[in-house]
Amino acid sequence: MIISKNELKEFLDEKVELYNNPNFIESDPIQIPHQFTKKEDIEIAGFLTATIAWGNRKSIINNANKLMTLLNNEPYNFVLNHSEEDLKRLKPFVHRTFNGDDCIQFIKSLKHIYKNHNGLENVFKTYGTPRSLQESISKFKSTFFEIEHLRRTQKHISDPLKKSAAKRINMLLSS
């Protein structure tokens, strides 16, 4: 099926009207990072929510809210200042195949990113190009896992250079 530019514009305008409004946010996981005002809190909440964004939206929203509660509703502060004792309360967290061990690893890797690479945005910006984020996403994954980590946790971040669509990371970057 071939559509004209006008038909494509009309279609896209309809989608903007549908999705780019506050009513849509109320029923979408994008509401999680919208709970925050600090840039780093938004980034971390968005990243963690995108990571568990598979399954039905209600379940994603519920589990993302649980995760934010476990992070004292201050994701950036928790990431930077957590103790080993604080991490223990993440152990029971589960969303489908993302479990407490994965969650703990993600917090440790995020701390590494913020302490050694100037944050999530910087990692993506450093390696992105105007035409593609594939290299950037791939580099992000290798940076995220450059510290000691559980091998099983790697499955939760896709690599487009290994033929993955990297849907959840792209969703994060487009929000």
DSSP string, 62-129: HHHHHHHHHTTT-HHHHHHH--HHHHHTTTT--BTTB-HHHHHHHHHHHHHHHHHSS-HHHHHHHH--
136-151 confidence digits (pLDDT tens): 788 888 998 999 998 8
Does residue 13 lie in a domain region? no
Query: How many domains is the chain built from?
Result: 1
Handedness of CA 9, 13, 19, 21 (dihedral sign): positive
Does residue 99 lie in a domain region? yes
100-153 confidence digits (pLDDT tens): 999 999 999 999 999 999 998 998 888 777 777 788 788 888 998 999 998 888
Which residue range forms the structural domain that includes residue 102? 32-174
> What single letter denotes the amino acid at residue 80?
L
Does residue 11 lie in a domain region? no
Does residue 163 lie in a domain region? yes
Q: In angstroms, what is the C-alpha Rg of the chain? A: 17
Does residue 55 lie in a domain region? yes
Query: What pLDDT band is residue 23 in, cutting at 50, 70 and 90?
Result: confident
Residue 67 contacts residue 48 (beta carbons within 8 Å): yes
Q: In the predicted model, is pLDDT for residue 99 greater than 80? A: yes
SS3 4: coil
Is this model's pTM higher than 0.85 or not?
A: no
